Chain A
Amino acid sequence: MDGVEGQAGDFTVTLVKKPRYIIEDKCTGCTTCMEYCPVEYPDPFNQELSQNKAIHIYFSQAIPLVTYIDETCLFLKEQKCDICRGVCQNKAIDFTQTPEKVAVNVGAVILSVGLEPFDPSVRDEYGYGRLQNVLTSMDYERLLSSTGPYEGRILRMSDRTHPRKIAWLQCIGSRRVTPGDNSYCSAVCCTYTQKQVILTKDHEPESECTVFHNDIRAFGKDFERYFQRAEQLPDVRFIRSYATIVGEDPQSKNVIVRYATADEGVKEEQFDMVVLSVGLNPPTGNRELAEKFGIALTDHGFRQGTADNPLATTRTGIFVSGGFQGPTDIPESVFSASGAGAQCGQLLDYRRGKLTTERVYPPEKDVSGEEPKIGVFVCHCGANISSVVDVPATVEYALTLPDVVYAKQQLFSCATNSATEITDLAKEKGLNRVVIAACSPRTLEPLFRDTLREAGLNQYFCEMANIREHCSWVHSKQKEDATEKAKDIIRMSVARARHLEPLQEFDLPVDKAALVVGGGIAGMTCALSIASQGHEVYLLEKEDHLGGNARRLHTTIEGLDVQAYLADLIRSVYANPLIHVSHRAVIQDVSGYVGNFFTTVESETGVQQIKHGAAVIAIGAEEYTPTEYLYGEDERVLTHLELEEKIAARDEQVVGAESMVMIQCVGCRNQDRNYCSRVCCSHAVKNALELKDVNPGMDIYILFRDMRTYGFNEDFYRQAAEREVRFIRYTPEEPPQVEAVESEGKPVLQVTVADPIMGQRLAIDADCLALAAAVIPSSSTKEIASLFKVTLSPDDFFKEAHVKLRPVEFATDGVYLCGLAHYPKHIPEAINQAYGAAGRVLTLLSHDTVVASGAVCEVREDDCVSCGACITACTYGAIEFRETPRGRKAWVNPILCKGDGLCNAKCPTNAIVLKHFTDEEIISQIDAVVTAEEIFETR
């Protein structure tokens, strides 16, 4: 990026495109040039652990999947060698290319420039680069990968042997104020380390894994369970200790780690390998980038946002998503990306759709009169398949199968040029069925269906044979058997392909309005974003006022005046003519489907039926009412929300207290609620700092299990410690005890807790006790879930369709999710997610139609005996009886049918058929498992 001019709505961004020295259109990614290139240099994608060539493909899933030439090239350096130019049959290599300047005119910019892993070589103490068997977690990630330096084998650098004892050192480069380190918590390392431990045990069940950590920060959704899963594996130790690398054993090259435990004091232990769990730095070149875009950075070097909009920068029209906001995990990166999209939409809605052109497919060929003519394409998937399966042998085999008229191998069937090849060959060879033997249909089936449409074939004539996940990846050590199995899988797919039928998808109209359930910060933010893009929004609030839980919050830890912000937000909602708010609203019924919902709502204005295309569930959460620690019995015992309200009101009982104790993890991280409420540690620190501001002399104690002040909130934790807030760790086995007693003639709450450092019980006399009460699912969760037919996670928060891929959507089409209903979170996170949900809603509502699948059920009326077995089997209410001239027959509403096929398995006369998965299609596969000669003759 060279420069940017203009303003929001009309930026001109100048880009300099470096030469690839490859003509992209001509390169097929065949990699012949790579074989001949004489220059080897450390591969940056594999963390320089393995070698690559000067001409190479960046990594196996790179887009576009073509080569480029690195500056290590001998020709580029000294015009010495041009072997690649000689061996390239497509004449794709072009050394005359020069840097190219491109100017693009855009209305808005999203900076999704990511993060940079911390480089531990900046500090000698980590031994990185000095000791061979010390790696970073990023290095280790590559070792674990099947496309990594050793094809997924974990090997030591020093002697290429399998390490048996591996240690992870947490917080490398994070939570430290020493020069070169970052003071903040990188937020993702605890969980990625647990993932690496689980994968290591998976690779090598005998290995011993030790994690040296400070706190375990399992604050994300389902993270607590994930930690337990890692911790409970055999030979896995989590040791709470600061650990340092002392050196290495000169013979074995084992790494010596020094650490301390409460029982054994300081000790040294040798490990075959040490992994540094490195934190996250701001992206490289952040300052230059900020200067070019004219945006401000924080002291930590991330973008400066605004307290009420984490996706904004200090310049209008320039947004951020993902890691440039700060340490971010994948789900947050994904929904913040949707959110940034929504904000661009708000800015540019007036010209939505002006640059789009409709995709036109060639007319569909009628092949109903033809015999099946099947083409089989077997994918190498780089080396993913071909390193195990003998691909040419499977191609040859495919040609012997019935109705197969053509078969071919491809390096990557998913690459653009391969897809074009499939289209072209389908036309040229007159194919009417195509079998792609490659990976799981889960990821790429849509692409290959599209490929068929381009060839004028019905997309349901595409069949995928999964020879990667189901074969090469799991049988890497049995190459011959794997090849035979790949043949079996292909034979089964061919058998099925012979029976495939063309199916028609149909377009459903989309109602342009949205329904948002819940008028808290998340619901209102989402409603405003949708409305500002021209859509009517019906906002339902069960109370008689908007605001939700935020009504009880006064500041955020970053210093946002929550009440002022909330008042503004509520005013904007009421002022927006497209937003219709219903107070005291109760949903009575929800019917319909994506694009066409009908929701019956009773509210203060009576009962109304709302027609809407999308729904957002933002019903929030509640505060747990403690039964522990004298809560409800003694008025000096408060929850943190109550404490916050009293601090804001300058209640003398609270701000005048000489001594205050806070107990964390009340009502969660236990058997009843096996999750972390995420917000309470920061909430406690915030309240402690507020109290110190008002009454600097107050003694404040925070009794905690793990301080989970992740991300930038770590700085506030440190601030609190510096201001003499005392932090005392307790364990669930020895929880604090609270008693109301008299001490020196004064009534106090006496809190006793085991002090792990002193090794004795500590008694604190407190005037006030604040409990970090858990955030629990809203009491209406189950009712709302059943009305909208959406599911819940084990802890009864709403369950997204996919944690990473679809974090703000439900499996039920047209229904979305944000805010505390998803999981406890801080206000900026809820705002992020609310914009994210709005972005997904807009993706639906900005279209006039949605497409319904062709793979739905259908009744063959002649065979239907109207027994009703299908109707009772269908949970979607998609089947009903209809009167026909030949009596009562079952009928399927194809829009409501989800294609699960339960009815098909229940029908005694096989009258109801799940299209694309018919008995004939499935049985043909079952029969093809064995070759004809193997089948019982008596069948």
Chain B
Amino acid sequence: MAEATLKIFRGTREGGTPAEYHVPVAPGMVVLDALHYVQQHQAPDLAVRWNCKAGKCGSCSAEVNGRPRLTCKTRMDTLPQDKPIAILPMKSFPVIKDLVTDVSWNYKVNKKIPPFQPRAGVEWKMYQEDVDRVQEFRKCIECFLCQNVCHVLREHDKQEQFGGPRFFVRVAGLEMHPLDALNRTGLLKNELGIGFCNITKCCTEVCPEDIHITDNAIIPLKERVVDDFYDPLLGLVRKIRNAVSPSKRQPNE
């Protein structure tokens, strides 16, 4: 049986180094299997976050040979076997131990987003063509790989001013819900800092669920923000239209 060499980061917030492990490679094996092999045979205290090992929970994110991946969906046979496979924790989040990072910031951002609020007296009818695009956003498994690669967070550390692609996807799912009554453009502009995104599409590239984050979520949301805050003519049209038949309103209106 072929053997692979893994170089896995071992350490904590205080620092650490990669350690080398040798793992036999079975057909169809994924990187998470290799990590489990290391736990079972060589390092029982190797910290790895995972749950389903089926690509559904989004827990096992790491950087494999420099690429942010779900380790449960990264086949060993897609990686060069003639040199060590480097496995590092996600860079944009503080390391807790080994491959486990502190992703609690994401849960704090999530709390800022006003939830779905149905329009008053709504009839609960929706058509497939209306929910199709929202269902795309709701495929998100919160692996936070998009947050990890976004340079606004990764290089510029704008955690205080910026929500990150994951939460633009969540807001898009709410804003484009056919029966939702709220307008969250103020939140997007101010608290979530959508203006920082300069649509480099790094998030879209790493999404394991193939959500078109930039094209389908961020760009349409940016357009809404521009319409609401920077286009005086459209703003006026909307004011008049709202006075006649109210559409989406800001949370505090």
Chains A and B come from one and the same complex: no
> What is A's interface to B at a CB cutoff of 8 Å?
none
